[in-house]
Amino acid sequence: MTDASANGQLLTTADGKPLKRALAKAQAHAKRRAFFLVLPLLAFILITFVMPIGQMLHKSFYNEGFTVNEDIGSGVRTPIMTNLKTWFDANPLGTEPDEAAYAALAADLVVLKDLRAAGQAGTRINYEKSGSRSMFTKAARGAEKLKPPFKEAIIKLDKDWADPELWRVMRDATSAYTANFYLAAIDRTKDVNGNIVNVEEARQVYVKLFWRTLKLSIMITLMTFILAYPIAHLLATLPLRYSNLLMILVLLPFWTSLLVRTTSWMILLQSQGVVNDALVGMGLLGDENRLQMMYNQMGTMVAMTHILLPFMVLPLYSVMRPINPSYVRAARSLGATSWTAFRRIYFPQTAPGIGAGALLVFILAVGYYITPALVGGADGQLISNLIAFHMQKSLNWSLAAALAAILLGCVMVLYWLYDRLIGIDNLKLG
């Protein structure tokens, strides 16, 4: 590089280029190089994480089962229920179905029969109105035989075709975009006039499950904290050769299958299991008074606390290890009691680890599926088990996506609260 002259000439590189421009070019090259280095990871995250979440959120308010039929073999997409949609568009909500409405329905039933889409359309309505699928398949089979007056002919097939609630559901379903799945996820629905109301008490299950999931997750997080804090403190204060040995015991569950650990707890906790046999053998319980620790909330809490305990120990250990013991000794030498020194000196320094461990355990707990399914029974099921049911059994993917989206929103709110109270920059996971 050449020096600046007394005339204020700009600094240049050895080949005569302005230094400022050369530095900017070098920085741009470094940024492009860094971007291409992280590009594979970025693409992996987008494909395997961001896109599935985006598809789930879209599925939670989009369902075209009543509006479009897609031939799986050819991929041809054909609009269905177009005549009924035209009648709904021309008549406001609350209009009683007339002969023209039933005529439009009859014409669409013929289309459903030709496309073999009656089951698909009925399934979409069945999500909100039970028993609708069989009505659609039965009506489509005899659609070509329907003669005017269509209203009388269709109601003769099944009197439920005159139900105003059914027509309200079909009106909503003619639009592929709907918020009804979110309403169902919070035990709400619409009446025949479109007003949002509570579902029948016997069907109010989702809000209860959300509260149960929240309660059990908080209790599991608290129990793991109570157990993990002294363990992490012991690991942090012992000489390294001993703490490494104990750390192996903490990490040992990670080397064992989750299914094996869960079934082991089933053997321990069942009525004729090891724990009850030991209590009966010691005379603490009568044989007829064995504790019921399986297929309830207690079984879920015990098993999940054991499984999630390492996720609390490791963040706590990571913040306890660097804490200088001289801080507590200095407080003791100045007249503080052991409790005061712990409360005012040691404990505040472990707060980032407590927050990180609690956040990690809580997020894992609200989404756990296998353990509650095996040891929880009806009383110990979490919302994740119901999401899995709708994905695998009822095939109501839109409702499952709505439930998952609400659960994701709750986790994001928790993440936001952690950032406001502790600060995400202080997150210590290891």
Question: What's the DSSP call for residue 18?
Answer: B
Check residue 415 and give its pLDDT. Answer: 82
**Element housing 177 (H / E):** none
- Token readout for 404 is 């998952």
Domain-embedded: residue 212? yes
Check residue 425 and give its pLDDT. Answer: 66
The residue from 185, 202, 219 where one domain ends is: 202
Domain-embedded: residue 4? no
Check residue 5 and give its pLDDT. Answer: 46
Q: Same structural domain for residues 370 and 294?
A: yes
Count, residues in the chain: 430
The residue from 181, 202, 223 where one domain ends is: 202
Domain-embedded: residue 2? no
Domain-embedded: residue 6? no
Q: Same structural domain for residues 166 and 257?
A: no
Q: What number of CA atoms fall less than 13 Å from residue 40's CA on the CB side? A: 1
Q: Same structural domain for residues 354 and 232?
A: yes
- Dmax over CA atoms of the chain, in Å, equals 104
- Token readout for 327 is 């801080």
Domain count, the chain: 3
Q: Same structural domain for residues 224 and 368?
A: yes
Quote the domain boundaries for residue 98: 68-202
Domain-embedded: residue 411? yes
CATH number at residue 279: 1.10.3720.10
Check residue 2 and give its pLDDT. Answer: 47
Question: What's the DSSP call for residue 4?
Answer: P
Q: Same structural domain for residues 227 and 324?
A: yes
- Token readout for 214 is 């929240």
Q: Same structural domain for residues 136 and 221?
A: no
Give the Cα separation of 424 and 337 in Å (integer): 32
pTM of the full predicted structure? 0.85
Q: Same structural domain for residues 100 and 51?
A: no
Torsion angle of the four alpha carbons 236, 238, 240, 246, in this order, in degrees rounded to the nearest 10: -80
Check residue 426 and give its pLDDT. Answer: 62
The residue from 169, 202, 235 where one domain ends is: 202
Q: Same structural domain for residues 362 and 383?
A: yes
Domain-embedded: residue 341? yes
Q: Same structural domain for residues 189 and 146?
A: yes
Q: Same structural domain for residues 43 and 101?
A: no
Beta bridge partners of 79: 68
Q: Is 352 helix (H, G, I), strand (E, B) or coil?
A: helix
Question: What's the DSSP call for residue 343?
Answer: I
Domain-embedded: residue 327? yes
Q: Same structural domain for residues 151 and 299?
A: no
Q: Same structural domain for residues 36 and 131?
A: no
Domain-embedded: residue 7? no
- Region label for 94, one of left (φ > 0), alpha (ψ between -120 and 50) or beta (otherwise): left
Q: What is the mean pLDDT of each run of 10 residues along the chain (430 residues)?
A: 52 76 88 93 93 93 94 86 96 93 96 95 94 95 93 95 95 95 95 91 92 94 96 91 87 85 88 88 85 88 93 92 89 89 91 89 89 85 91 92 93 83 63
Check residue 1 and give its pLDDT. Answer: 44
